[in-house]
Structures are given as C-alpha cells and as structure tokens.
Amino acid sequence: MFHRPASRPRLATAAVALGLLCTLSASAWADGPGAATAATPRLPVTAVASAPGSATALAGYAIQSGAEVRDPASAVSRPGYRAGGWYPAGPRSTVLAALLANGRYADPFYSTNLRNIPKSDFTVPWWYRSDFTVSDTSRRTQLDFSGVVSAADVYVNGHRVADADRVKGAYTHHELDITSLVRRGTNTVAFSIRPNDPDKNLTMGWIDWLQPPPDQNMGIVRDVLVRRGGPVALRDAHVLTRLDVPSLRTADLTVRARARNETGSAVTATVSGRVGSVSFSKTVPLAPHQTRAVTFSPSEVPGLRLRSPKVWWPAGMGGQPLYGLDLTASVAGTVSDTAHETFGVRDVKAPLNSDGARQYRVNGRRLLIKGGGWSPDEFLRWDRGYVEDRLRYVLDLGLNTVRLEGHIEPDEFFDLADRYGILTLPGWECCDKWEGQVNGDERGDRWTDADYPVARASMAAEAARLRDHPSVVSFLIGSDFAPDARIEKTYLDALKAADWPTPVVAAASDNSSPVSGRSGMKMTGPYDWVPPGYWYAKREGGATGFNSETGAGPDIPTLDTLRRMMSPAELDTLWKDPDARQYHRSPSPVFGTLKIYDAALAGRYGAPTGLTDYVRKAQLAQYEAVRAQFEAYGRNATDATKPSTGVVHWMLNSGWTSLHWQLMDRYLDQGGAYFGAKKADEALHVQYSYDDRSVVVVNNRHRPVSGLSARVTLFDPDGTQRYDRTASGLTVHGDGAHVRALTVPPSVRGLATTYLARLVLRDAGGREIGRNVYWLSTRPDTLDWANTDWYHTPTTGYADLRGLNSMARVPVSATAATSAAANGISTTTVTLRNTGAGKTPSLLTDAHLVDSTGKPVLPVRWSDNQVSLWPGESTTLTATYRTADLHGSAPRVRVTGWNASETTVPAAGTGASRHGE
C-alpha cells in the first residue's frame, strides 16, 4: 500500500501471519495423565508417527495468559501439568482467534464490537501448550515450525530448547533436535509467545486495510511438526526446471537436496529418487554431523530431460499439470528419511519494456497481469474451503493473479493456486518494520544488526517453501520502497542460495534497488474515488505500465451484508452523513470517512433519499468504476506505445466486514464491483472507451476470431433511440489484442444529458455473444490533474447521471428451476424478461439466490448478472452452488434492479414465474 512521505500520521497497526481457527470437538481432546476437572480442559494429545520421514502436526493447544500462570516454565512444559482454566486452541491459531472460538468476546465483525476487546490482555506473553505421544524412541526427533508471531521461548518436557532471541520473526523456520528429551509415552511442548508489534518486529501488519486486531495476531499460525527419522536426514528437496521456449518440446529437470548426518559417526547414505517413471540413485558418504548437497542432473540421468513435457499454464491459457518428486535416504539398506515435492514445468520471464514497465511472459507468451490484492481473515483463521471459494471467484472474475503483500499464506494456499492456475505475487509489506530502514516518514523502527539475520532467515524460509510452486511468478523484496544495498544483499543472497527460479522485483512502486534495478511497477494510486474516465489517461494510475495496487476506493456491500455488519443507527449515518467516521472503512484519517465517494455519488446520481437508494446508487457507481479500470488496462495491453502490462485491483477482498477495497465482501456476496470486473474481463469482450468514444473488441483468448459484428445504440433514459450503428466483418487477434470497431460521434442530435449506450457483439452466424450497457452523460467528469495526491485526483465537475432517476419502473418477469447433481452441486437456471409495454429498459437487473428466509445462498457463481434488458428481451442466467449451503431450504431467486421492483420467485425443480410490479 503506497503512502507518500508526510502524507498522514500512521496509526498503530497489527501484525499479521497465517493461521487457523479450529474449535476442536470433545473427541479431539484426550485426557492427559490424570482426569481433567471442570476447571481443567482436556489437553490436545497428538499421536506421533514413527515411520522415518514422517512429519506429524500438533493437533492443537491449550493457551493461557502469562499473567494468569504462576508456575515456572519447567512445570508448565512437563507432562501431567494441570492447565486449569486454559483455553483450547487450534493447531494454527492466534490468541484472539482462540478466545473468539471460546466465546470470550462478541462477534468482532459486527458494529464496533472489535473496539471493545481490551488491548491490555495481549501486552504480556501467552502460553501455548500441547502434548504428543511417541511409541518408538529409537528414531531421531525434530521439532519443525515457522509462523511464530512474534517470538517465543520453546520448552520440551521441562527443558528450554530455544529462546526468543533465536525464535523470532513470523517467517523464520526452525528445526530443533529434541531426540534426547523425548520419551516413550506422553511428551509436552510449550511455547511462551511474546507480544507482537509490527513496527518493531519482522512479522506482519494490517497497515490501513482494516481496524487491527487487539492482539496484533500474536500466536502460532502455521503447523508445528514433529519429524521422525534415522541417522541421515533429507532436507531442502526441490527441482529446477528449464523449459525450452518457445518450442516447449523439452524440459531439463535438476533435482537437488541436502543429506545431513545426524550422528557423531561417519555413515554412507544411498539417496534415491523418482520423477514419474524416471528413477535415479547415488551413494553419499557423510562425515560426523556433515551436510552435503546432492544433485541429479540430465547429464547424469538422461531421463531428467523430458521430451514433450506436460507444461503448466495460467488459467485460460492451458492446463495445470503437476509432477511429483520422491526422494529416499537409506543407510545400510534401511530407510532413514524421505521427502516429497510437487512442482510444475513452466518458464517465467518479466523483462522491462521500452517504457520501463515490467512485462510478464509465461512459457514465452505475453500476458496482461489482471489481479487483486489478497487479504487473509483478520484473525488469521485458516479455512481451506473459504480460501478455495475465493480463488474460484478469482477465476469467475476473469482475473489471473493475486498479490500477497505480506500475509504470505500457508502451503495449502499455493497448492490451490497451482491447481487452479492462479498466478501469485508474494512479497514483503510496507509501512512497518519491513521497510523501516528506507520508508521515509512512515512508521517502523530502523533495522539494527540483529535484524539482518532474521530478514535473511525469513527470505530463505519463504524461498524454500515457494520455489517449486508454478503459481509463484515473482517475489517482491520491497513494496512502497525498495531496499537499500545491505538489505537487498541480505535478500538476494538468501534467494540465490535457495535456487530461486523467477524474477525478483525491487518494489511494488516505481523505485530501484542497487542490484535488481528498476522495479518496472508503479504505485500511483488511486485509493479513493475517481470517475471512470480517469483510467483511460496514460498518466498517474491510468492504463499504462504495471500498476501494482489501485482502485476507486470504497465498495459499499449489498444491503444483506450491510445489515449483518452494522447497527441500525450506523446504517442511518451511512447514507446521511458523509463526514461521519466509518469504523468499517479504515483506521486511517485519510480513509476514515466516505466524504469523497459520497460527494461523487450525490453529484453524479443525485442525493440519496434513504439507505436503499444509497446502496442502489452505490452499486451502479461501483460497477462502472471497476469495469472502466479493467477495460482501460485491457484495451491498452497491446498498444505500440506505453502499453499496460499489469493491474492489481486494491483489493480483491477484505479480512473483515468492510466498506472499501474489495470486489467481494466478507460473506462472499457480490455487488456492482464484482459484476463490473466480471463483465470487463470476459474472454471476448466489447467495450466503450471513455477517452475517445471508440467501441473496441478485446480478445483474451489465444486464437484469433473473425466474422464478428459490433453494434452500438444510444438511448434516452425513457428508451427513445437516438443513434444506431453496426460494424461488421471484424477480426481480432488473440492474447489480449483488440480491434476498433467504430467511434461514437461527439454529439448526437436530440440525445438527453443522461443517456444509455448498448453495445452488442455477434458472431459470424449472427448470434449475440456479448452485451455491455453504459450509462453516460453529455456533461463529462472534470479531473483536477494538477492537484493529484498519492490517493486520488480531485474531481471538480461531475457527469450528470441524474436522468436515471426519471426512468419508469418496468415489469421484469422471472422463472427459475433447480437441478441438483450427485456431487453435491446445484444449478439454478433463471430466465428474466422485460415485459414492459413501453420503451424503457430495465437497468442493472440483479438476481440473488436466497433461501426460504431471504438470506443469500453463498458462495454462488453466476454465468452473468446485473443485466440490462429492453422491452421484450429476455436472458437466461445460471447460478451454481453447493446444495448443502441451502441448509435444507428450498431455493428462491430475488430479483431487483435500478428501475425494477423487487420480486422473489421459487426455484424448485419445476420452475415458477412472477412479474415485478
């Protein structure tokens, strides 16, 4: 997130890492030595596997504030300790996540409940305690973990095995040999977790995305593993791939790992492996406690030169095949350790173009990065299903990338991204300790000599974890600022040692670092409201180059979501008072109100008359703003000069119930911003250009398309037709190319000040394959470019869209029917028809799938939505969702629109029909 120096005071922010809120059932908790009492929770007991190469995650913890624990660490960390009054916590859980799961506080996503949680509870260390059982002590045992926020003293069976000077930083990886301490039966591991401050610790922070959690995410937010093995350990297994580009006919694989002698005696290990049907092996002599690199290359193993490799592609460009590597280390014929890695074969390059912008190419093909900024849950609760739902939304939106500014998610996230073909741009975050040395007037302590080893260890651990994931196409070692020479060397040395395979980017802003050079990215905003035409100017945040984070600011959710997150009094203030501080927007004084947004809403659409009218106008405003952003970048992607190369909408989603920076809300409901992005990012798309009034067809498919026709028709709000032109015989090349079909004249006789433009795209057979409807004005928005600041360009004159308020109410009929598949997925088919007898269209007509109580069924993927229909026209939409999300209710479809009255129809198997009034 970009903040120019001295732009505003930075509020204290919370540290963030990745985690899981897991409320364990009673069956998941076993009695410790001695029965639990009413005041003593049953403690989590993990049965640790004995097989060499096994890695067993601790099942969970009992946690308690250090202020409440009077016993010494040696007692707390021994088996049999009675943890009276402690709280159960999942295997990845912040302190606050566990307390919320235990009902300690009211719903923090509603109203200002979060503000009522006392920060003082989290200014002392918290204990995390877990028991595990071992049946075989002949194996060597290591405690393997990362994700401690922010630091911890670590104990096993009453003995401290590492202190907080060693275990610090959310990303640092630790492997502690606890073989001598482990005994047959029950063992105990305990962490004394230190409080976190992202301005002082190399962890994670929320910047100004949301109201920060009072515990600042202190806790353990990745799995803690108990590893078992023999005398030789295998570590750091990975595969380097070199794909022949552009032919894609061959790929060279180089397998690397480290063999480590865990004993005080010399041993000889046999390291063998397999990739598909290709096997390989070698003998590795090891001196006492020696670690040796082990490499298998195509020169040694010809089978590692793949012929006709299965190539991994981003979604929409090809398939996502993956390979597996299996390695085994044996000593005297006995398995000592094993390793497995999944990887993909693909090539990523990102050179700077002639304008200095970074242009990504995957497997030799250029692509426009179209993405959103990713946010985890505010309390770092990991929910694989919820994450998968959001990633499916990414594909539904037509996006190809998510950017993770800090908040680098656990392994499963990247596994899912690999599977779905979604590119990821992870990197360090701005505005706290990570950029403290170079971030100007922003908050964040400057680094001391003690921070460099933590930074290097963090980079090394994340590089080793991410390098084999084909979805990871870069690492951003800076965000708002680029690192200085010493910090950059710290990162680059770690990346080089880890065989990092993809481009390293100096910063997400237009900055340079001494070695990596120019970033090739820009961070010029905006972050608050700007009109749709803003995006077409090839300056500031407009559609040129690679904009790493940008958007038109606020996103007002649907009424359903607003009523779930705000009190009646807050909802009343929302539409009445633009100057009011909005708790659900941001802790930032810059983004604390909706003043800029509300002024534009009233100036362009007319002052809201109530909450429903406010939300109704907000959906139109958000649809046009987001659509224009992606359309401008899409149109300009293949320009000969100053092309657009990437755009990351700020943001994709929010970690809590928010009023800004999201294409989807916390509950996965979809409004104007969502469907505006979905429309703009269609594979084959017809669009209107706000800058030169051209009608353009953009082809995001690989193959060219011929025989197209594009028609543009202009209407007054009452449906009176004022202009109509068609261009036929159009051919548009693939991979983001566009063709200009025609240009709307600068003035049309008789056209109202507010008017509608309907664009229709047809194929060679005359079938409609695309439609796009705009609401426009003969009076343009006027931008004050001279007073542009870091978060927006002021608007001094607004387009007049108030004529939309005069549109007559029109009847829209709806029929709906549902079919359920054996795989637990239901599909509801909805047909909407404008049955009006006049000329007025139904504008931005929305279909919402709801249950019998009127609650939205979420998540849901619509084939299309928020459609505009002229009298006599109809369209058929499909909604796909999990049958279980109906919770036994019969599905219904609620239809609303700008000028269509709300109506709800049943969506049973036989279908039903009803007309809007």
Q: Is 737 helix (H, G, I), strand (E, B) or coil?
A: strand
Asked if 675 and 866 count as a contact pair (C-beta separation under 8 A), the reply is yes
**CA dist list (Å): 304 to 207, 223, 278, 611:** 46, 33, 7, 64
Can you tell me which residue has the tokens 């005069």? 806
Burial of 310 (0-12, 13-18, 19+ CB in 10 A): middle
Taking the C-alpha atoms of residue 175 and residue 143, their distance in angstroms, rounded to an integer, is 6
Closest CA to 561 of 488, 497, 657, 446: 657
Q: Phi, psi (5° rounding) for residue 564?
A: -85, -20
Across the beta sheet with 348-349, the strand order is: 348-349, 361-362, 365-366
Can you tell me which residue has the tokens 């939300």? 615
Token readout for 689 is 């250009």
Asked if 627 and 676 count as a contact pair (C-beta separation under 8 A), the reply is yes
Taking the C-alpha atoms of residue 490 and residue 882, their distance in angstroms, rounded to an integer, is 47
Closest CA to 513 of 501, 500, 498, 503: 503
Can you tell me which residue has the tokens 């630790």? 174
Strands 369-373, 365-366: pairing kind: unpaired
Closest CA to 233 of 296, 140, 312, 311: 140
SS (H, E, C) 426-460: EECCCCCHHHCCCCCCCCCCCCCCCHHHHHHHHHH
Closest CA to 520 of 438, 425, 631: 425
Q: Which residues are catalytic?
A: 480, 549
Contacts of 223 (CB under 8 A, 6+ apart): 57, 58, 91, 92, 145, 147, 410
Cis peptide before 651 (omega within 30 of 0): yes
Token readout for 510 is 């237009």
Token readout for 705 is 């398309």
Tally of CA atoms within 13 A in the half-sphere of 439 that contains its CB: 25
Q: Is 477 helix (H, G, I), strand (E, B) or coil?
A: coil
Taking the C-alpha atoms of residue 866 and residue 879, their distance in angstroms, rounded to an integer, is 13
Sequence-distant contacts of 900-906: CB under 8 A, at least 24 apart: 900/809, 900/810, 900/811, 900/812, 900/842, 900/845, 901/809, 901/811, 903/812, 903/814, 904/850, 904/854, 905/814, 905/815, 905/816, 906/816
Token readout for 271 is 């390291």
Taking the C-alpha atoms of residue 678 and residue 623, their distance in angstroms, rounded to an integer, is 10
Taking the C-alpha atoms of residue 382 and residue 375, their distance in angstroms, rounded to an integer, is 12
Asked if 82 and 169 count as a contact pair (C-beta separation under 8 A), the reply is no
Asked if 857 and 881 count as a contact pair (C-beta separation under 8 A), the reply is yes
Residue 132 per-residue DSSP state: E
**CA dist list (Å): 854 to 144, 209, 628, 858:** 48, 31, 32, 12
Taking the C-alpha atoms of residue 45 and residue 292, their distance in angstroms, rounded to an integer, is 36
Taking the C-alpha atoms of residue 523 and residue 3, their distance in angstroms, rounded to an integer, is 9
Strands 232-243, 224-229: pairing kind: unpaired
